[in-house]
Amino acid sequence: MKPTVFIAHPIPEIGIDRLRKRFEVSVHPEIRPMAPEVMIRKMADCSAVISLLCDRIDAPLLDQCPGLKIIANHAVGYENIDVAAANERGVLVTHTPGVLTHATAEIAFALLITLTRRIIEADRFTRKGLFIGWDPLLLRGDELAGRTIGIIGMGRIGRDMARKCRAFDMTILYHNRHPVDSETEKALDARYVSLDELLARSDALSIHAPATPETRHLIDAAAFAKMKPGAYLINAARGEIVHEAALAEALASGKIKGAGLDVYEFEPKITEALLDMKNVVLLPHIGSATREARDRMSAMAADNVIAALEGRKPPNLVPEMADLSP
CA distances for 73 relative to 93, 124, 181, 317, angstroms? 7, 38, 29, 10
* Residue 100 within binding range of ligand DGY, rule CB under 6 A: yes
Q: How many CB atoms lie within 10 A of CB 166?
A: 16
Question: Which one of the listed residues 147, 238, 243, 296 is annotated catalytic?
Answer: 238
**Half-sphere exposure at residue 226, Cβ-oriented, CA atoms within 13 angstroms:** 14
Query: Three-state DSSP class for 97?
Result: coil
The CB-of-72 to ligand DGY minimum distance in angstroms stands at 12
CA distances for 124 relative to 117, 121, 128, angstroms? 13, 5, 6
Q: Please report, for the chain, how many H helices and E strands are present, in that order.
A: 13, 12
Find out whether 254 and 231 touch, Cβ atoms under 8 Å: no
The CB-of-316 to ligand DGY minimum distance in angstroms stands at 12
The CB-of-105 to ligand DGY minimum distance in angstroms stands at 12
Is residue 267 annotated as a catalytic residue, yes or no? yes
Nearer to ligand DGY, 54 or 187 (CB): 54
DSSP state string for 8-52 = SS---HHHHHHHHTTSEEEE----SPPPHHHHHHHHTT-SEEEE-
Residue whose C-alpha is closest to residue 302's, from 49, 42, 10 = 49
* Residue 94 within binding range of ligand DGY, rule CB under 6 A: no
Is residue 143 annotated as a catalytic residue, yes or no? no
* Contact positions with ligand DGY (CB under 6 A) in 48-87: 75-77
Q: Provide φ and ψ at 27, rounded to 5°.
A: -120, 120
* Residue 97 within binding range of ligand DGY, rule CB under 6 A: no
Per DSSP, helices labelled H in 47-155 are 59-63, 83-88, 101-116, 119-127
Nearer to ligand DGY, 44 or 321 (CB): 321
* Residue 101 within binding range of ligand DGY, rule CB under 6 A: no
Nearer to ligand DGY, 75 or 115 (CB): 75
* Residue 304 within binding range of ligand DGY, rule CB under 6 A: no
Nearer to ligand DGY, 190 or 318 (CB): 318
The CB-of-281 to ligand DGY minimum distance in angstroms stands at 17
* Residue 47 within binding range of ligand DGY, rule CB under 6 A: no
CA distances for 112 relative to 61, 141, 273, 280, 310, angstroms? 40, 12, 21, 11, 44
* Residue 199 within binding range of ligand DGY, rule CB under 6 A: no
* Residue 33 within binding range of ligand DGY, rule CB under 6 A: no
**Residues binding ligand DGY: what is the number (CB under 6 A)?**
6
Nearer to ligand DGY, 100 or 318 (CB): 100
Enzyme catalytic residues? 238, 267, 285
Given the rule CB under 6 A, which residues bind ligand DGY?
75-77, 100, 287-288
